[in-house]
Amino acid sequence: MIGFYINILSFLYPKKSLELAYQFFSEPREGRLSPKNLPEILKEATLEVIEHNGHFLQTYIWKGNENKILLIHGWESNAARWEKLLDFLKKSGSTIIALDGPAHGLSSGKEFNVPTYAEFINVVSEKHKPKFIIGHSMGGVACAYYQHLYQNHDLEKMILLGSPSDFKILLDNYSKMLSLNSKVYEQLVSYIKKRFKIDIDEFTSVQFLKNTTINGIIAHDAADDVVAFEEAKKMAQSWKKAKFIETQGLGHSLHDDKLYQNIYQFLFEVE
């Protein structure tokens, strides 16, 4: 019904149609947190707000030694998604920093997009200088784009969990889900290209990772029903210094003690 309404508007009020189409594409419906009802794992952290260009970036810091790890969640999620992995990472004694993305958790905004998320990651990275970064789902895309765009030479290892690659696939899937007509789709493409100055055909993690010189892990479940397994295989072929881990039965969340133990060993144990 939403798509039908947007399609009708595209002939009568095309500007309003575009606004609605982009709004439903970019505004998360879940993932917000209330300061009064924070998950217990986040209450254990030191909360730090960073102001940047009118945004308020919420970070959570579990203090440890000078080795720092930055955690980047995905769409309609927040920093609490890292609770199970935190149990493993804390064993290293590292300082762990988790970020609430744009329009998620306690961070400001109504809109989520990868360029802004990458900008958030850069602001936090410049302040805290993480050695390792871990991203899940769209957070993984933001990590790949961040490293491609900002070239953090202090970053030693990066891990992408259940991450998509091609922005065009995301946009096409959204368009198909709402049965948007070609007029609305073309308006969306034009708007995104103009606003973010990107070519949606080239805005892919495959491109972002092909010249990456740092070591990494790409982990993806073969039966992921949110992000196609083929996306991970494409990235693994592009990122020559990444270890590819295929899991079975974990779904998109990839919460698993064995996987997390592999991540711990990759980050902290000498091979």
DSSP secondary structure of 174-213:
HHHHHT--HHHHHHHHHHHHHHHT--TTT-BHHHHHTT--
At 270 the pLDDT is 60
Tell me how far apart the alpha carbons of residues 32 and 66 are, in angstroms, rounded to a whole number: 30
For 33-71, how does the pLDDT look when each residue is reduced to its tens digit (9 = 90+)?
999 999 999 999 999 999 999 999 999 999 999 999 999
CA nearest to 92, candidates 37, 132, 41: 132
Burial class (CB in 10 A: 0-12, 13-18, 19+), 191: middle
Contact 253, 78 (CB under 8 A): no
Interval 131-143 mean pLDDT: 98
pLDDT value of residue 11: 87
Q: Which CATH architecture has domain 65-165+204-224+240-271?
A: 3-Layer(aba) Sandwich (3.40)
CA-CA-CA-CA torsion sign (112, 241, 254, 154): negative
Task: Delimit the domains of the chain by residue range.
Answer: 65-165+204-224+240-271
pTM: 0.95
Per-residue pLDDT tens over the stretch 165-221: 999 999 999 999 999 999 999 999 999 999 999 999 999 999 999 999 999 999 999
- d(C-alpha 203, C-alpha 112), whole Å: 16
